[in-house]
């Protein structure tokens, strides 16, 4: 129903208002009679008063449900129903609640609750989707034992826990572990399994399955190996064993996010689990391995110990991201993983933390919780745990985690609970450290050095700029890992962690023979912006000598950024000294090819825009683009003589394997091809495209051909070859926009939205095109506003169908105040146009409101 009336201001939920639910649930029995248009859900729930809760009316969440009947202790009742849920008079003691509702999964385009994707039924309940399935206290602190019966003629019927009875047209499932409703899941469809088995360290056999649509069986083997590695790793590193007889993973084509950790029944966006060498890049393989691990690790950090309320989201997400990062570091190269993570953090979390959407790792209020599945909660949340581990040490960290699992198993816990186990395990007072959870914004850290009479000192000053609702910040605990290098490049003081706690603090190093060069924030030990006046010579020295691989890379990155700054603001030539240093490093065959490939990838254009803004210069996207192009061209020319040798080093003769070693070589090969293409106009790329037998090389060749404006035939061939594969077609759509020349990106995106295969209701496809546009920095920011307009048009359109995905993509506008007045006007107008849309969702209303405020 459309309604043109002005929107009512959405209600804000506050952490400080937390109150426990008035009842506890002994058990829940659900029966699903599946039908696309009229599924019946029968619920039987035993409620008993919660002695720990204040008196309250009996309220159950429920949205978009048609109540057929409700009964209490067998007697029919007529609850009072609103669009949020129902209230009902209930007995003083325990009682049995029964309800039957009807829902229409086929009409569910928001992909929240029970919905259909390619003829299969599936669910997504986090955060608040269960209320679209039946009336229920849909909050994570209400935990219950679920028994589920599914009635349907479809061959595969799945839910959480262990399988029970099954027969013609039905299957039953019982989950012995108490869980909140957001971990409920159901899947029904014509699916095939890729089966395997895992024996836990205590000798229990677990049946593992990856369920896919027929035809995708060949894309499961890698995910299955990743799952088994994750299970083993969690036993070995965290002492955590799996706790059910089965573990099921299902691949779904229509999914808002990456994947979901439902107890015993993880549901994955098919892009995050299906893989084959022909259709997936090395990057896809690594990401799939990490996401499978992530969801599996949630079984303990999220499911066995869950969150008391959604403000505590980082309790499970920050910790689980930290764990999956550790896992990847163990499976692959630890330094390369760290650099990848920091690139991601700087590209996605820093802009958030330094703009209108800034919020604490543990937010204190929200309108729509779906808007808080952010880089801050996830990635900064993981950084906070990394800092904690650095501060207390690996041993104390392990001890604290054991205590956490012991004490809170079965709980819906809080950040206070989490910090308390560290305080008890270590005797430390973490009250100041806790500011990392409550203060938004990226701390700025200034470091000044002094050298007098053989004593070297560092003066460290910290301040965190204001963020929305937080004008003043107190000093945080910053673990600053520092090493000192002597004039000949030897490490004279190995890495030590300075604990910065004051606004200004001085640290001294004595007994040094000569003035050292500091290597600061090694391994990116704290998620801060380091502000320090350093000479190019000093950075070049670190690039040549630093023993910390992260800082060595970062020194190069800073030199590249400085060079680009000079090129953009003073029309300077590329920094030849930096290119010299880079060349020496890349020529060093003792270094991992993956690491050298990272060295060759320059800062992103949005990172440069951020840097200019921080240095008081209004970023001009076209100027940034052309400077980046000039630098890349200069680099290619400088490396010309080295390319054949590098290409030989990058070549892989063994059969394709997506492991760290081979992917590192191919990453170096892609960097070489990108330089080569700038020299030969696309000749080598065409050859690679024609010869490629894996997606990594096929796609890297296609990327270069697009950049060289020579991709017409390749794009057509690629389309011919892959039009039947949805995941590969997402790449085809995304790359044409993402790699397009800035002047054309918006037009190409607009044209692709008219393509037959542009299924805009599929989040992956929508994101490929419109997200691809947002990622093409100069293309999105085209001076005439075409990029802004196209994105806004589509977000407005998507809002009616899928508010969650639409709202997430609003963040493309979060940096709007960085740019010049004309662009600001254009972006403000588009944001206002979104804000004025009739029936704007709460999701989008909140995002646009925050971005504009
Ligand atoms: N909890 C999921 C994860 O991080 C993410 C998710 C959130 C998925 C909300 C769907 C909906 O693993
Ligand atoms: Zn997660």
CB of 227 within 8 A of CB of 220? no
pLDDT over 70 percentage in the chain:
99
State pLDDT tens for residues 148-175. 999 999 999 999 999 999 999 999 999 9
CB of 185 within 8 A of CB of 265? yes
Can you give the pLDDT at residue 7? 57
Question: Which residue from 821, 848, 847 is spatially nearest to 833, judged by alpha carbons?
Answer: 848
The pocket around ligand 1, CB under 6 angstroms, is made up of 124, 126-127, 257, 259-261, 294-295, 317, 373
Of 219, 246, 281, the residue that ends a domain is 281
For residue 284, the CA-to-ligand 2 centroid distance in Å is 18
pLDDT confidence bin for 8, thresholds 50/70/90: low
Give the residue numbers spanning the domain of 353. Answer: 306-438
Tokens 């893989």 -> residue? 275
- Residues 474 and 527 placed together within one structural domain of the fold: yes
- Residues 29 and 166 placed together within one structural domain of the fold: yes
Which atom of ligand 1 lies closest to the CA of 317? Answer: 4
In terms of DSSP H, where are the helices of 576-620?
A: 576-587, 593-600, 605-614
Can you give the pLDDT at residue 1? 37
For residue 846, which phi and psi values (nearest 5 degrees)? -65, -45
State pLDDT tens for residues 469-512. 999 999 999 999 999 999 999 999 999 999 999 999 999 999 99
Tokens at residue 456, please?
Answer: 């070297």
Which atom of ligand 1 lies closest to the CA of 298? Answer: 12
Report, in this order, helix, strand and coil percent for the chain, each rounded to 5: 45, 20, 35
Nearest CA to ligand 1 atom 1: 260
CATH of the domain at 410: 1.10.390.10
- Residues 47 and 75 placed together within one structural domain of the fold: yes
For residues 656-682, average pLDDT: 98
Ligand approaching nearest to the C-alpha of 324 = 2
Ligand approaching nearest to the C-alpha of 322 = 2
Residue 667 lies in a domain: no
User: What's the mean per-residue pLDDT of the chain?
Assistant: 97
- Residues 784 and 818 placed together within one structural domain of the fold: yes
3-class secondary structure, 665? helix
- Residues 363 and 465 placed together within one structural domain of the fold: no
Which atom of ligand 1 lies closest to the CA of 294? Answer: 12
State pLDDT tens for residues 58-86. 999 999 999 999 999 999 999 999 999 99
For residue 108, which phi and psi values (nearest 5 degrees)? -85, 95
Decide: residue 8, CB within 10 A, 0-12 exposed, 13-18 middle, 19+ buried. Answer: exposed
State pLDDT tens for residues 185-232. 999 999 999 999 999 999 999 999 999 999 999 999 999 999 999 999
- Of 292, 373, 763, 808, the residue with max ligand 1 atoms within 8 A of its CB, to mutate for a pocket test, comes to 373
pLDDT over 90 percentage in the chain:
98
Nearest CA to ligand 1 atom 6: 260
Nearest CA to ligand 1 atom 8: 260
Tokens at residue 224, please?
Answer: 């299955």
Catalytic residue among 98, 295, 686, 846: 295
Which atom of ligand 1 lies closest to the CA of 291? Answer: 12
CATH of the domain at 236: 2.60.40.1730
Distance CA 290, CA 226 (A): 8
Residue 578 lies in a domain: no
For residue 257, the CA-to-ligand 1 centroid distance in Å is 6
Tokens at residue 82, please?
Answer: 């609103």
For residue 229, which phi and psi values (nearest 5 degrees)? -65, -40
Nearest CA to ligand 1 atom 11: 126
Q: Can you give the C-alpha Rg of the chain in angstroms?
A: 27
- Residues 457 and 422 placed together within one structural domain of the fold: no
State pLDDT tens for residues 424-450. 999 999 999 999 999 999 999 999 999
State pLDDT tens for residues 96-121. 999 999 999 999 999 999 999 999 99
Can you give the pLDDT at residue 6? 47
For residue 320, the CA-to-ligand 2 centroid distance in Å is 6
For residue 346, the CA-to-ligand 2 centroid distance in Å is 20
Distance CA 133, CA 634 (A): 59
Residues at Cβ < 5 Å from ligand 2 ion: 317, 320
Nearest CA to ligand 1 atom 3: 260
- Residues 344 and 448 placed together within one structural domain of the fold: no
Kind plus residue range of the DSSP H or E element containing 459: strand 455-463
Can you give the pLDDT at residue 206? 99
Residue 692 lies in a domain: no
For helices 381-392 and 415-426, what crossing angle results, to 10°? 10
Distance CA 721, CA 190 (A): 26
Q: Which of 3-17, 539-553, 663-677, 757-771 has the lowest mean pLDDT?
A: 3-17
Output the CA–CA distances (angstroms, integers) from residue 298 to 150, 302, 321, 374, 636, in the order listed: 25, 5, 9, 17, 44
Is residue 286 annotated as part of the catalytic site, yes or no?
A: no
For helices 660-680 and 282-297, what crossing angle results, to 10°? 140
- Residues 113 and 150 placed together within one structural domain of the fold: yes
- Residues 416 and 455 placed together within one structural domain of the fold: no
CB of 603 within 8 A of CB of 676? no
- Tell whether the model's pLDDT for residue 462 goes beyond 50: yes
Tokens 């000479």 -> residue? 535
- Give the HSE-up count for residue 66: Cα atoms under 13 Å, Cβ half-sphere: 9
Check: complex ipTM more than 0.95: yes
Of 380, 405, 438, the residue that ends a domain is 438
Three-state secondary structure readout of 656-721:
CCCCHHHHHHHHHHHHHHHHHHHHHCCHHHHHHHHHCCCHHHHHHHHHHHHHCCCCHHHHHHHHHH
């Amino acid at each position: 129903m459309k309604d043109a009336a002005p929107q009512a201001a959405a209600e804000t939920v506050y952490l400080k208002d937390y109150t426990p639910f008035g009842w506890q649930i002994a058990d829940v029995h659900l029966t699903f009679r599946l039908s696309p248009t009229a599924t019946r859900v029968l619920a039987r729930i035993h409620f008993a008063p919660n002695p720990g809760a204040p008196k309250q009316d009996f309220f159950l969440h429920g949205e978009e449900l048609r109540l057929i009947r409700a009964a209490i202790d067998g007697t029919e009742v007529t609850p009072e129903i609103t669009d949020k849920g129902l209230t009902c008079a209930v007995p003083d003691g325990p009682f049995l609640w029964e309800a039957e509702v009807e829902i229409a999964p086929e009409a569910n385009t928001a992909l929240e609750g029970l919905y259909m994707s390619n003829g299969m039924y599936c669910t997504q309940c986090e955060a608040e989707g269960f209320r679209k399935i039946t009336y229920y206290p849909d909050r994570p602190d209400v935990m219950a034992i679920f028994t589920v019966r599914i009635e349907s003629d479809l061959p595969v019927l799945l839910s959480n826990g262990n399988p029970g009875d099954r027969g013609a047209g039905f299957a039953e499932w019982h989950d012995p572990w108490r869980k909140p409703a957001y971990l409920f899941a159901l899947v029904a469809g014509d699916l095939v399994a890729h089966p395997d088995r895992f024996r836990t360290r205590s000798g229990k056999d677990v049946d593992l399955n990856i369920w896919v649509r027929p035809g995708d069986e060949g894309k499961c083997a890698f995910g299955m190996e990743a799952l088994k590695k994750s299970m083993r790793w969690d036993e070995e590193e965290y002492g955590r064993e799996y706790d059910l007889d089965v573990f099921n993973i299902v691949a779904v084509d229509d999914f808002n996010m990456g994947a979901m950790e439902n107890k015993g029944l993880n549901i994955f966006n098919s892009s995050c689990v299906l893989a084959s060498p022909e259709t997936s890049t090395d990057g896809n393989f690594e990401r799939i391995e990490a996401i499978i691990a992530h969801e599996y690790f949630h079984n303990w950090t999220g499911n066995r110990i869950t969150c008391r309320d959604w403000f505590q989201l980082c309790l499970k997400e920050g910790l689980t991201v930290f764990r999956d990062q550790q896992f990847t570091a163990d499976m692959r190269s630890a330094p390369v993983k760290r650099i990848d993570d920091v690139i991601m953090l700087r590209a996605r979390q820093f802009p958030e933390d330094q703009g209108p959407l800034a919020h604490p790792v543990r937010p204190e209020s929200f309108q729509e919780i779906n808007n808080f599945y952010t880089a801050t909660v996830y990635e900064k949340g993981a950084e906070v745990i990394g800092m904690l581990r650095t501060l207390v040490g690996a041993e104390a960290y392990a001890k604290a985690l054991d205590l956490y699992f012991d004490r809170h198993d079965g709980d819906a816990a809080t950040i206070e609970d989490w910090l308390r186990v560290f305080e008890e395990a270590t005797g430390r007072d973490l009250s100041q450290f806790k500011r990392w959870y409550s203060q938004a914004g990226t701390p700025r850290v200034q470091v000044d050095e002094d050298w007098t009479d053989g004593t070297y000192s560092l003066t460290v000053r910290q301040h965190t700029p204001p963020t929305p609702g937080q004008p003043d910040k107190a000093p945080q605990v910053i673990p600053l890992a520092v090493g000192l290098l002597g004039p000949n490049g030897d490490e004279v003081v190995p890495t030590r962690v300075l604990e910065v706690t004051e606004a200004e603090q001085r640290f001294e190093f004595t007994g040094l023979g000569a003035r050292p060069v500091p290597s600061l924030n090694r391994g990116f030990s704290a998620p801060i912006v380091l502000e320090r006046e350093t000479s190019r010579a000093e950075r070049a020295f670190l690039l040549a000598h630093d023993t910390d691989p992260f800082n060595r890379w970062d020194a190069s990155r800073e030199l590249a950024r400085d060079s680009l700054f000079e090129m953009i603001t003073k029309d300077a030539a590329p920094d030849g000294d930096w290119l010299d240093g880079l060349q020496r490093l890349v020529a060093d065959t003792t270094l991992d090819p993956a690491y050298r490939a990272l060295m060759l990838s320059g800062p992103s254009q949005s990172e440069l825009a951020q840097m200019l803004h921080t240095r008081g210069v209004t970023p001009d996207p076209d100027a940034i683009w052309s400077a980046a192009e000039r630098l890349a061209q200069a680099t290619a020319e400088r490396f010309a003589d080295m390319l054949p040798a590098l290409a030989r080093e990058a070549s892989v003769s063994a059969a394709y394997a997506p492991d760290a070693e081979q992917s590192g070589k191919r990453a170096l090969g892609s960097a070489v091809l990108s330089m080569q293409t700038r020299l030969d106009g696309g000749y080598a790329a065409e050859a690679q495209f024609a010869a490629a037998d894996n997606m990594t090389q096929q796609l890297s060749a296609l990327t270069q051909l697009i950049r060289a404006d020579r991709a017409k035939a390749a794009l057509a061939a690629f389309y011919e070859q892959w039009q039947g594969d949805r995941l590969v077609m997402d790449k085809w759509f995304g790359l044409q926009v993402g790699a397009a020349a800035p002047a054309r990106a918006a037009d190409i995106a607009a044209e692709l939205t008219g393509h037959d295969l542009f299924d805009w209701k599929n989040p992956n496809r929508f994101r490929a095109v419109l997200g691809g546009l947002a990622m093409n920095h100069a293309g999105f920011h085209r001076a005439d506003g075409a990029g802004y307009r196209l994105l806004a048009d589509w977000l407005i359109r998507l809002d009616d169908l899928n508010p969650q995905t639409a709202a997430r993509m609003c963040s493309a506008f979060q940096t709007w105040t960085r740019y010049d007045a004309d662009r600001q006007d254009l972006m403000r107008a588009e944001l206002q146009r979104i804000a004025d849309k009739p029936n704007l969702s709460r999701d989008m209303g909140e995002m646009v409101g925050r971005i504009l405020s």
